[in-house]
Amino acid sequence: MHFPFCRRKCTYCALHSRAGSTVAARAAYVAGLAKELSRLDIQSHSLSTVYFGGGSPALCDPTPLLEALQPLLAPECEFTVELHPLDVNRGTLASLKAHGVNRISMGVQSLDDGTLRHMGRGYSADEAEQSFSLVKEYFDNAGIDLIVGYPGDPCDVAKMDRLSHWGLRHCSVYSLILEDRSILAKQATRLTFPDDDEVLDKIKLVSRFLRSMGLNRYEISNYAVPGVECRHNLAVWRGEDYIGLGEGAHGRRGLTRTESGKPETVSPEEDEKERRIFRLRTIEGIDTTGHTEWIAPLDAFASKGLLVKDGPIYRLTERGTEVCDSILAELV
């Protein structure tokens, strides 16, 4: 479920979201989501994961939606809410917990105060740490997002080291993409961006650091303590169905894909390919059983050291993770 409201626009962001909304507009949006949900044919206790993403979901009072969701949650449902560090307070955390939320993802993005200021995030690394520590009082299953490759962000061991005592269960690490519609794109000529090799080196450093804290890389951009990999992420990469509600949400049910509520039908062949090929992003890899036509192109990547073959399964090597997007672009 997508909540497209933010305090202000972060410099690097081109996601569908807006700053400066009123309380009434946000309440109307939540009521609209609850109504959309009530129109769907969902069996009770059948949702195995729920994800509230943004924007900053906690800028809204999600109570009507949380109440509408209660009868639909499976007993072991993984229920994640993304929180901006400035939205973390005891009242919000207690209310989310009381409504069945059991996982928090906090967008920290950088551990460098100058970078956070430039990004327009509105908090310091110390404040992010305090917010995360409060989150951990309510939710053990909590993690953060980081961006690598922001101009001027040192992202070095000294900065990363402060994470060692946070009790992270999960970390998503994204390399910066300079989006055309972002504020950063307008500032780009005045900034020095790290080149691809520097970004790869930083990702390797973050990766090594997270491994040293017991977080395994289970997907290109995601690390977790074994057993608490994000089920929601995995379901998407494993090709399972999901419902997307809200302005910027995507969904997949059978042959239907929805984007911002607009449905589109794909062919059975496209459907099968999409559901299988993106598994390459995970440590599970692609299973070519029943798809001998994929073997030749995958063998070609394997011969370049980008994939390893294990019977019908192909998985990324460490070098392959660095160029996964181009491998996928050739396969789809």
Cα distance between residue 198 and residue 153, in whole Å: 12
Span of 9-17, 20-28, 137-145, 268-276 interacting with ligand SF4 by CB under 6 A = 9-17
Q: Which of 95, 213, 194, 96 is nearest to 152 (CA)?
A: 194
Identify the residue among 2, 3, 17, 103 touching ligand SF4 (CB under 6 A). Answer: 17
Smallest separation, CB 182 to ligand SF4 (Å): 9
Question: Which listed range, 51-59, 72-80, 131-139, 209-217, lies at the site for ligand SF4 (CB under 6 A)?
Answer: 51-59
CB of residue 186 vs ligand SF4: minimum separation in angstroms?
15
Strand partners, 52: 81
CB of 282 to ligand SF4, least distance (A): 24
- CA 83 – CA 231 distance, rounded (Å): 18
Indicate whether 55 belongs to the interface with ligand SF4 (CB under 6 A): yes
Residue number, 19 or 205, with CB nearest to ligand SF4: 19
The region of 13-21, 191-199, 206-214, 294-302 touching ligand SF4 under the rule CB under 6 A is 13-21
* Residue tagged 């494993």 (tokens): 238
For ligand SF4 (CB under 6 A), the number of binding residues is: 10
8 A C-beta contact, residue 83 and residue 144: no
Burial class from Cβ neighbours inside 10 Å (0-12, 13-18, 19+) for residue 327 reads buried
> Can residue 246 be called a binding residue for ligand SF4 (CB under 6 A)?
no
Task: Tell me which stretch binds ligand SF4 (CB under 6 A): 5-13, 23-31, 147-155, 233-241.
Answer: 5-13
Q: Give the nearer residue to ligand SF4 in terms of CB position, either 53 or 320.
A: 53
| Site membership for ligand SF4, residue 224 (CB under 6 A) | no
The token pair at 201 is 């080196």
Q: Is 147 in the site for ligand SF4 (CB under 6 A)?
A: no
Torsion angle of the four alpha carbons 168, 132, 121, 3, in this order, in degrees rounded to the nearest 10 = 90
Q: How far is the CB of 56 from ligand SF4 (least distance, A)?
A: 5
**Residue list 271-300, contact with ligand SF4 (CB under 6 A):** none
Q: Contact between 185 and ligand SF4 (CB under 6 A)?
A: no
User: Can you tell me which of 1, 6, 83, 206 binds ligand SF4, judged by CB under 6 A?
Assistant: 6
Under the binding rule (CB under 6 A), the answer on residue 9 touching ligand SF4 is yes
Distances (CA, A) of 280 to 11, 110, 290, 312, 331: 31, 28, 16, 13, 10
Task: Rule CB under 6 A: say whether 62 interacts with ligand SF4.
Answer: no
Query: Phi, psi at residue 297, to the nearest 5°?
Result: -65, -35
In the window 76-135, what residues touch ligand SF4 (CB under 6 A)?
Answer: 84
Work out how close the CB of 74 gets to ligand SF4 at its nearest, in angstroms, rounded to a whole number: 28
Q: Is 10 in the site for ligand SF4 (CB under 6 A)?
A: yes
Among positions 56, 92, 221, 288, the unique one binding ligand SF4 when judged by CB under 6 A: 56
**What Å distances lie between residue 228 and 93, 170, 243, CA to CA?**
20, 7, 22
Q: CB under 6 A: which stretch of 34-42, 52-60, 126-134, 317-325 binds ligand SF4?
A: 52-60
| Long-range Cβ pairs for the range 17-25 (8 Å, 24+) | 17/54, 17/55, 17/248, 21/59
- Give the span between the Cα atoms of 325 and 280, in whole angstroms: 10
Question: Which residue bears the tokens 């036509």?
Answer: 293
Nearest to 2 by CA among 294, 321, 316, 259: 259
Please give the residue ranges that form the binding site for ligand SF4 (CB under 6 A).
Answer: 6, 9-10, 13, 15, 17, 54-56, 84
